[in-house]
């Protein structure tokens, strides 16, 4: 996937929100996008998925996914692209599942529509997917509703639904943000595992540098709709060239847990 | 509602089924717990009103010049001298076993008198309900689909307008237009369904349309709001991102969660439709339920009025129970206990 000079405008009031974003996601690679809220990372993802809100449009630049430019896509082509080639999971997973339909049925639906499976095959495949995302009891989850599960379990279900049709690219937009730290780590492990096993390419969007640093090959730092830093994760972390990136990293050092533990150890000594 | 968590139990599937069955039984229980008191209160006030009216069958059966002792004997015969609660529970027992008492006017069983008339009213109200559902849903869906365009505004103006038109005005206009001017439909009267669908339908359609306006408007407005807010929900975005097409997202994901307020409105509208029938029936000269009620009230035929009321209470209670069951089935998360 290649994004070139992507600019996103809001038509009313007329203003440009994202000013020329470039990046490349290699096959099997993991790209992290970091930035504070309002920096344009979510809009960039929405543009890539073709789900920009009304009154917001892609005014310039191209998104190329496996060689085809999405600018010329009609409704049907987007429908074919989503799920099969590119999919996404978001923050607050429970809200992304229909509250009135049993969880298993929702994954079932995707499999039947996108892969043309029969009801029976779809059920089997759904159960397989639910255990692939390490839900302890697929049979039970299959018949439950979204309001009956915890956030971490729901994110697993959402991930299972997203990868059901076998996409090549998965965007995780703040997918671990509202989860508590241990669950967050589990979900990140799951994403990494799926990447290896299913050959996914990942885009990890987060405001948390630590999340991105853990699993991404490349990192993109955005601020106010612009890229302020882009490069391999190690380089960016070791020798940031931009002031804002430096600030992000130093704040992490100042407030990070390591620091506190360190200082307590000093006090004890 | 907690997640079912049973450590190491062998058959979680069956436990879940058990859990669902308990939930279902709980939902039924809550329904009954709500509706049985409604029925009891409704029937109690129905009877109370008849009783405190102080009316007795004498004027209807003995004429104005009856002697006091004859009136007293008659009251004794109808059981009106017994204590109130004694009378109430006897009456309630009869009602529950399908016996609505005898009319003071002609001594016939009220249930027989009502039967034929209720069918007329239920035909009109039922058809009005159907019109309300079909057109209300169509208009509401159109307005939501073309939100903020001229279509949306047109629907909003139309539904605001028709909801202000009372059925008796609409009825008169409809008769004038379709019967008097265009000679397309009969102006008044009723033909039973047994004599063929078309004659029945042609007599019932105008009153039904006159009755339905308010329902069409309310259903349309509720569905529009429901759809507009459901469209913005994350689960709709979720379904789109999973690669489902627009039609599927609408029918399976948006509509299902948007439809509850409109269905709840139907539950509220049903009593209004029954009540509206009283006026509409007199315009279209249908000798239905409403006409029967008016006639009985004017005559002072207390058992008939009580029967009309208690049957209306039963119909409304049953209809609302059906509405609740549908709502629970459509949106299970709304029915969860605390």
Q: Residue A125 is encoded by which pair of tokens?
A: 């495949």
**Residue B80 and residue B130 in one domain:** no
**Residue A19 and residue A151 in one domain:** no
**Residue B87 and residue B116 in one domain:** no
Query: What is the reported pLDDT for B11?
Result: 60
Residue B265 maps to a domain:
yes
Per-residue HEC secondary structure of B233-302 comes to CHHHHHHHHCCCCHHHHHHHHHHHHHCHHHHHHHHHHHHHHHHHHHHHHHHCCCCCHHHHHHHHHHHCCH
Query: Among the three residues B66, B96, B126, which one is the final residue of a domain in this structure?
Result: B96
Query: Which of A93, A140, A143 is most worth mutating to test chain B (most B CB atoms within 10 A of its CB)?
Result: A140
Q: Residue A49 is encoded by which pair of tokens?
A: 């998925």
The answer to whether A130 and A157 have CB atoms below 8 angstroms apart is yes
Residue B148 maps to a domain:
yes
Residue A269 maps to a domain:
no
CATH of the domain at A57: 3.40.50.300
Pick from B20, B241, B245: which is nearest to A49 by CB?
Answer: B241
Is the pLDDT at B155 greater than 60, yes or no? yes
Q: Chain A: nearest CA to B190, how far in angstroms?
A: 44
**Residue A11 and residue A64 in one domain:** yes
A113–B243: do the CB atoms touch at under 8 Å?
yes
Centroid of chain to Cα B263: 12
Query: What is the reported pLDDT for B3?
Result: 47
State the residue for tokens 């948006």: B254
The reply to whether A170 touches chain B by the CB within 8 Å rule is no
**Residue A103 and residue A151 in one domain:** yes
Query: What is the reported pLDDT for B5?
Result: 46
**Residue B116 and residue B92 in one domain:** no
The CB density around residue A9, as the number of other CB atoms within 10 Å, is: 17
Query: What is the reported pLDDT for B4?
Result: 47
**Total tally of structural domains belonging to chain B:** 2
Query: Among the three residues B43, B61, B96, which one is the final residue of a domain in this structure?
Result: B96
Query: Among the three residues B61, B96, B131, which one is the final residue of a domain in this structure?
Result: B96
**Residue A81 and residue A1 in one domain:** yes
CATH of the domain at B260: 1.10.3720.10
Is the pLDDT at B37 greater than 50, yes or no? yes
**Residue B92 and residue B134 in one domain:** no
Pick from B1, B2, B242: which is nearest to A87 by CB?
Answer: B242
Residue B5 maps to a domain:
no
> What is the distance between the alpha carbons of residues B300 and B43, in angstroms, rounded to a whole number?
19
**Residue B161 and residue B310 in one domain:** yes
Q: Residue B78 is encoded by which pair of tokens?
A: 């109808």
Q: What is the pTM of this model?
A: 0.82
Query: What is the reported pLDDT for A23?
Result: 87
Query: What is the reported pLDDT for B6?
Result: 45
The reply to whether A163 touches chain B by the CB within 8 Å rule is no
Q: Chain B: nearest CA to A43, how far in angstroms?
A: 14
**Total tally of structural domains belonging to chain A:** 2
Q: Residue B65 is encoded by which pair of tokens?
A: 């010049």
Residue B83, domain extent? 13-96
**Residue A18 and residue A77 in one domain:** yes
Q: Which residues of B touch A96 (CB under 8 A)?
A: 234-235, 237-238
**Residue B130 and residue B66 in one domain:** no
Phi-psi region at A150: left, alpha or beta (left = phi > 0; alpha = psi -120 to 50): beta
**Residue A18 and residue A40 in one domain:** yes
Query: Which of A81, A86, A99 is most worth mutating to test chain B (most B CB atoms within 10 A of its CB)?
Result: A99
Query: What is the reported pLDDT for B338?
Result: 37
Residue A249 maps to a domain:
no
Interface predicted TM-score (ipTM): 0.88
Model confidence over A147-179: pLDDT tens digits? 889 988 999 999 999 999 989 999 999 888 878
Residue A256 maps to a domain:
no
**Residue A194 and residue A209 in one domain:** yes
- Mean pLDDT, residues B260-273 taken together: 90
- Mean pLDDT, residues A82-103 taken together: 92
Alpha helices in A50-180, H assignment, sequence order: 75-81, 103-115, 119-132, 138-142, 151-163
**Residue B77 and residue B197 in one domain:** no
> What is the distance between the alpha carbons of residues B67 and B48, in angstroms, rounded to a whole number?
27
Query: Among the three residues A166, A200, A223, which one is the final residue of a domain in this structure?
Result: A166
B242–A161: do the CB atoms touch at under 8 Å?
yes
Residue A27, domain extent? 1-85+168-239
**Residue A56 and residue A185 in one domain:** yes
B333–A99: do the CB atoms touch at under 8 Å?
yes
**Residue A9 and residue A124 in one domain:** no
Beta bridge partners of A10: A15, A56
B244–A83: do the CB atoms touch at under 8 Å?
yes
**Residue B56 and residue B120 in one domain:** no
Residue A207 maps to a domain:
yes
**Residue A108 and residue A147 in one domain:** yes
Q: Which residues of A touch B237 (CB under 8 A)?
A: 51, 90, 96
A75–B246: do the CB atoms touch at under 8 Å?
yes
**Residue B146 and residue B73 in one domain:** no
Pick from A84, A98, A148: which is nearest to B243 by CB?
Answer: A84
Q: Which residues of B touch A149 (CB under 8 A)?
A: 3
| Confidence at B149, pLDDT banded by 50, 70, 90 | very high
Q: In this complex, how many residue pairs, one in chain A and one in chain B, have their CB atoms less than 8 Å apart? A: 104
What percentage of chain B carries pLDDT values higher than 70? Answer: 95
Residue A201 maps to a domain:
yes
Query: What is the reported pLDDT for B8?
Result: 47
Residue A261 maps to a domain:
no
Question: What is the arrangement of strands in the sheet containing A226-232, beginning at the earlier edge strand?
Answer: A86-90, A169-173, A201-206, A30-34, A218-223, A226-232
**Residue A102 and residue A25 in one domain:** no
Residue B128 maps to a domain:
yes
Of how many residues is chain B composed?
338
Is the pLDDT at A260 greater than 80, yes or no? no
Beta bridge partners of A60: A7
The CB density around residue B251, as the number of other CB atoms within 10 Å, is: 10
The reply to whether A57 touches chain B by the CB within 8 Å rule is no
A144–B241: do the CB atoms touch at under 8 Å?
no
**Residue B57 and residue B134 in one domain:** no
Q: Which residues of A touch B16 (CB under 8 A)?
A: 140, 143-144
B12–A140: do the CB atoms touch at under 8 Å?
yes
- Helix pair A103-115, A151-163: axis angle to 10 deg: 10
B243–A92: do the CB atoms touch at under 8 Å?
no
Q: Chain A: nearest CA to B32, how far in angstroms?
A: 23
Q: Residue B321 is encoded by which pair of tokens?
A: 């129970």
Residue B249 maps to a domain:
yes
Closest CA to A109 of B46, B170, B252: B252
The answer to whether A222 and A228 have CB atoms below 8 angstroms apart is yes
The answer to whether B316 and B270 have CB atoms below 8 angstroms apart is yes
**Residue B305 and residue B172 in one domain:** yes
Q: Which residues of B touch A65 (CB under 8 A)?
A: none
Residue A79 maps to a domain:
yes
Q: Which residues of A touch B256 (CB under 8 A)?
A: 98, 100-101
Query: Which of A80, A96, A131 is most worth mutating to test chain B (most B CB atoms within 10 A of its CB)?
Result: A96
Residue A263 maps to a domain:
no
Identify each DSSP E strand in chain B by its residue range: none
Residue B6 maps to a domain:
no
A95–B234: do the CB atoms touch at under 8 Å?
yes
């Amino acid at each position: 996937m290649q994004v070139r000079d992507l600019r996103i405008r809001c038509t009313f009031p007329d203003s440009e929100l994202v000013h020329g974003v470039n990046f490349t996601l290699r096959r099997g690679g993991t790209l992290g996008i970091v930035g504070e809220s309002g920096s344009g990372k979510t809009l960039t993802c929405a543009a890539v998925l073709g789900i920009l809100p009304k009154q917001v449009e892609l005014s310039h630049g191209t998104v190329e996914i496996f060689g085809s430019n999405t600018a010329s896509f009609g409704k049907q082509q987007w429908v074919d692209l989503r799920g099969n080639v590119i999919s996404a999971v978001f923050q607050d997973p429970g809200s992304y599942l229909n509250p009135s339909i049993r969880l298993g049925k929702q994954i079932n639906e995707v499999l039947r529509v996108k892969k043309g499976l029969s009801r029976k095959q779809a059920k089997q495949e759904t159960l397989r997917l639910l255990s692939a995302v390490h839900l302890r009891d697929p049979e039970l989850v299959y018949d439950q509703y979204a309001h009956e599960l915890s956030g971490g379990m729901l994110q697993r279900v959402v991930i299972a639904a997203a990868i059901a049709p076998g996409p090549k690219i998965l965007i995780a937009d703040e997918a671990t943000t509202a989860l508590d730290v241990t669950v967050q780590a589990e979900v990140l492990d799951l994403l990494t595992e799926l990447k290896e096993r299913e050959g996914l390419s990942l885009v990890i969007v987060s405001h948390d540098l630590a999340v991105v640093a853990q699993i991404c090959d490349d990192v993109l730092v955005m601020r106010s709709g612009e890229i302020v830093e882009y490069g391999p994760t190690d380089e960016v972390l070791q020798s940031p060239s931009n002031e804002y990136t430096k600030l992000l990293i130093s704040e992490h050092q100042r407030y990070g847990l390591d620091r506190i533990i360190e200082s307590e150890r000093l006090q004890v000594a | 509602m907690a997640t079912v968590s049973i450590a190491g139990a062998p058959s979680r599937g069956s436990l879940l089924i058990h859990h669902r069955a308990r939930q279902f039984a709980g939902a039924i229980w809550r329904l009954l717990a709500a509706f049985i008191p409604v029925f009891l209160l409704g029937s109690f006030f129905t009877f109370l009103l008849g009783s405190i009216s102080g009316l007795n069958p004498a004027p209807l059966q003995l004429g104005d010049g009856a002697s006091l002792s004859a009136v007293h004997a008659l009251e004794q015969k109808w059981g009106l001298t017994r204590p109130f609660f004694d009378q109430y529970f006897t009456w309630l027992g009869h009602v529950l076993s399908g016996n609505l008492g005898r009319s003071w006017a002609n001594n016939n069983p009220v249930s027989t008198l009502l039967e034929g008339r209720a069918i007329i009213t239920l035909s009109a109200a039922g058809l009005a309900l159907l019109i309300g559902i079909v057109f209300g849903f169509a208009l509401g869906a159109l307005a939501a689909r073309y939100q903020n365009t001229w279509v949306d505004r047109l629907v909003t103006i139309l539904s605001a307008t028709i909801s202000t038109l009372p059925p008796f005005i609409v009825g008169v206009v409809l008769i004038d237009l379709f019967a008097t001017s265009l000679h397309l439909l009969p102006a008044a009267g009723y033909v039973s369904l047994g004599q063929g669908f078309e004659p029945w339908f042609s007599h019932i359609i105008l009153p039904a349309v006159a009755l339905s306006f308010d329902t069409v408007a309310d259903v349309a407005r509720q569905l529009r709001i429901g759809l507009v807010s459901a469209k913005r929900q994350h689960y709709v975005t979720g379904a789109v991102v999973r690669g489902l097409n627009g039609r599927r997202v609408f029918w399976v994901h948006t509509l299902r969660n948007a439809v509850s307020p409109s269905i709840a409105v139907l539950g509220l509208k049903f009593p209004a439709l029954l009540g509206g029938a009283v006026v509409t029936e007199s315009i279209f000269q249908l000798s239905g339920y409403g006409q029967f009620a008016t006639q009985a009230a004017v005559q002072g035929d207390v058992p008939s009025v009580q029967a009309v009321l208690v049957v209306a209470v039963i119909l409304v209670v049953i209809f609302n129970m059906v509405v609740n069951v549908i709502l629970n089935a459509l949106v299970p998360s709304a029915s969860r206990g605390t």
